[in-house]
Structure 1
Amino acid sequence: MALKKLGQSVLQVAPIGLGTMSLKGGATKQNTEVLRRAVELGVNYFDTADLYERGMNEDMIGQALTSVRDKVILATKVGNQWRSDGSTWDWKATKSYIIKAVEASLARLNTDYIDLYQLHGGTIEDPIDEIIEAFEQLVKEGKIRYYGLSSIRPNVIREYTEKSNIVSVMMQYNLLDRRPEVIYPLLEEKNISVISRGVLTQGLLIDKPIKDYLQLTSGEVGRAKRNVEKLATSLGISRTKLLLTWVLSHSVVDVAVIGVRTLAQLNDLKDVIDQPLVLSENDRAELEQGIRKLVYKEHL
């Protein structure tokens, strides 16, 4: 895979990244094999969070990827704190908490630095200046190289875009959910990359039964699925490859994060990784035809 620079950072990322939340159960033999096989295929961006399995997910990555640490980009998230009884978590976006939480993530990831440290959510009521101070301090201390957001809230994204040195924003973006496009012009202007998640629409446009999705009815989802089937057949490619290509064809999107659980699922992506596709404007128009474009109703 041809590498792309993530925003204004020096990080060179492969356009297909691995979201590790779906790898449950810690550093099992299967999970370790999936992670290492991903590296072999050219994947170098691995996304996790301290929230996932109460840190076990970070620990799994730390164990599996230590031998290739210099070849991979480790991205994790902070801002949610598990309650002591393990029943749920609370939003904890303060400078003191972020400074403290990074130490646990560094230990679990078995690394001296985190390539991309992301705020795992965020509201407009947060002490944003204080949060930025925390991330900037961690950069100066060498504990993180860069920081970013994991948020779908336009008002929050605008605040950090104007006040901070974020290099990326992770958000859901796919053929059925184009709401983030409202903020894309600002991100492009500031040279801030989008890391897309949810790119495969929960499998609804591939092989899962059709149902309502966000504000779209099952009938609208069915129409979109027929568009995907028709164009994928015409181009002689898989629906997965088509959906990934569509997401990555937007100039501001530098990484599409995929969640897999097995080696078979990972190997199914080999064609996408080895032979990237470029969609023509006509292809894009055909794929998008008749699909209602959703817009954010809150947090504007």
Structure 2
Amino acid sequence: MEYVQLGKADLRISRISFGCMSLGDDAAANETILHRALDLGINFFDTADLYAKGMNEAFVGKALKPYRDKIYLASKVGNQWRADGSGWDWNPRKEYILAQIEGSLKRLQTDYLDLYQLHGGTIDDPIDETIEAFELLKQQGKIRHYGISSIRPNVIREYIKRSNIISVMMQYSLLDRRPEETCLSLLQQNNIGVLVRGAVAQGLLVNKPLKAYLNYSPREVEKAAAAVQSISTNERNAAQTALLFVLQHPAITSVVAGIRTVQQLEEAVGVLGSRKLTPQEMELLQQAVVANKYEQHR
């Protein structure tokens, strides 16, 4: 496993991280795959209070409690379940964040989080109030660092200017190159770590049935997937090629891989030992489809 510093923080995290959202509802199966991740060197585990209405945090907390001093735990806040369970509403208020950390800590069976992230965000949020909540939690020792999970350039810029975030989690893949326009370079210049989700574009770059994705038609998705497949080999499969496209960008700290099976886990970690993409292969992928750009939230 390779380890890199997450932004300005004193956290050296694995280049492949574990996105816990993909875990199911079988506690034993979850424990098996999480422990295998530890064996393979993964030390950064990302969850959220939203996932399975908190049960995801509970699964992760129970499985990883014996290893707490060897790992980094990250969770997210901001999506408030409605009382009737029909869905959730956005709530970035200070009072809400300060209240929700208690539930996350209890479910994760820990006294602190290494990283607490705002699970979204809009330019109309009370951003200073949100930042106050995270700063207070740092002072109280309940979190070590905070960041945001957002794809919106206008929101990211405000947090860079007004807060002490150490990371931004954002979607990035061959089929979502919007971050390349401004966000990745801006975050790199400010020494803020980038945690990538969606690196295989819901599996469309690997083996899922074709469909439209963002502004791409099924035909364009097919072209991107075909490009990935064309430079994949027995030693480096399509999923690993898609991951390398992301990992080789200099702004990227870690890929938070959504993992459901031990095979997926081992393939994801195996990417670090596979042959890197050559400049010619990178160019072939980049030219497979026209890079998309943000139309909103600029």
If the length of structure 2 is used for normalisation, what is the TM-score? 0.96
Counterpart of 1:258? 257
Report the Cα distance in structure 2 between the residues aligned to 1:287 and 1:295, rounded to whole angstroms. Answer: 17
Q: Which residue of 2 aligns with 1:272?
A: 271
Where in structure 2 are the equivalents of 1:71-150 lying within 5 Å? 71-150=70-149
Query: Equivalent residue of 1:268, what SS?
Result: helix
Q: What is the match of residue 184 of structure 1? A: 184
Report what 2:22 is aligned to. Answer: 22
**Corresponding position: 1:238 with 2:228:** no
1:35 paired to 2:31: no
Q: Deviations over 1:66-91 (max 9, x none)?
A: 01111111110001111121111111
Structure 2 regions of 5+ residues with no counterpart? none
Residue 205 of structure 1 pairs with residue 212 of structure 2 = no
Contact 1:49 / 1:57 at 8 angstroms: preserved in 2? Answer: yes
- Deviation, 1:222, is 1.5
CA contact (8 A) 1:154 1:299 kept: yes
How far apart, in 1, do the equivalents of 2:268 and 2:94 lie?
Answer: 39
Residues 30 and 262 in structure 1, CA contact (< 8 A), matched pair in contact too: no
Q: Is the contact made by 1:116 and 1:146 (CA closer than 8 Å) also made in structure 2?
A: yes
Q: Which residue of 1 aligns with 2:279?
A: 281
Q: Which amino acid aligns with 1:36?
A: H
RMSD of the TM alignment (CA)? 1.3
8 Å contact kept, 1:17–1:46: yes
C-alpha separation between the residues in 2 aligned to 1:299 and 1:59? 34
- What is the rounded CA distance, in whole Å, between the counterparts of 1:132 and 1:145 in structure 2? 14
SS at match of 1:111: coil
1:295 corresponds to = 293
Task: Please state whether the residue corresponding to 2:231 is helix, strand or coil.
Answer: helix
Greater than 4 Å deviation, 4+ residue runs: none
SS at match of 2:256: strand
Percent of aligned positions with the same letter in both sequences? 51
106-115 or 208-217: bigger deviation: 208-217
Aligned residues: 297
Superposed CA deviations along residues 38-80 of structure 1, whole A, max 9, x for unmatched, are 1111111111000111111001111000011111111100011
Which residue is 1:172 aligned to? 171
C-alpha distance in 2 between matches for 1:286 and 1:297: 25
Q: How much does 1:269 deviate?
A: 3.1
Alpha-carbon separation, structure 1, partners of 2:266 and 2:186: 36
